[in-house]
Amino acid sequence: MRKQAEFLEDRCLKLGEYILEHKGTVRSTAKAFRISKSTVHKDITSRLPALNHSLYVEVKKILDQNKQERHIRGGLATREKYRKLEEQHCMEKH
């Protein structure tokens, strides 16, 4: 059972360091580590504060900033999607 706890602690710290280093989102971090977004969220919000509170505080700042900006990123992604669709439509006409 101890190995499991060590594994979880190590993963939490690595996730926190990754988010700090890459200014990552929960989604991008989950993808990089090939784990679910729920697992990343659980590790960061529940386990990391007990392991390394100062790291948690820094990671939380990044995640809070990402949360404030997500509607902007979503709008930009939607605009890009429709721009590409319009390009394809124009290409098909000619």
- Quote the CA–CA distance of 22 and 4 in Å, as a whole number: 27
Does the model's pTM come out above 0.85?
Answer: no
Answer yes or no: is pLDDT of 94 > 70: no
What pLDDT is stored for residue 38 in this prediction?
Answer: 98
Beta carbons within 8 Å of 30's beta carbon, 6+ residues apart: 36, 37, 39, 40
- Residues 79/43, Cβ–Cβ less than 8 Å: no
Per the model's pLDDT, the better-predicted residue between 17 and 75 turns out to be: 17
The pair of structure tokens assigned to 62 is: 């990044």
Number of domains composing the chain: 1
**Domain with 17 in it:** 2-93
Give per-residue pLDDT as tens, 50-82.
Answer: 999 999 999 999 999 998 887 888 788 898 898
Answer yes or no: is pLDDT of 6 > 90: yes
Which residue stretches of the chain are H helix?
A: 2-22, 26-33, 37-42, 48-51, 53-93
**pLDDT, averaged across the chain:** 92
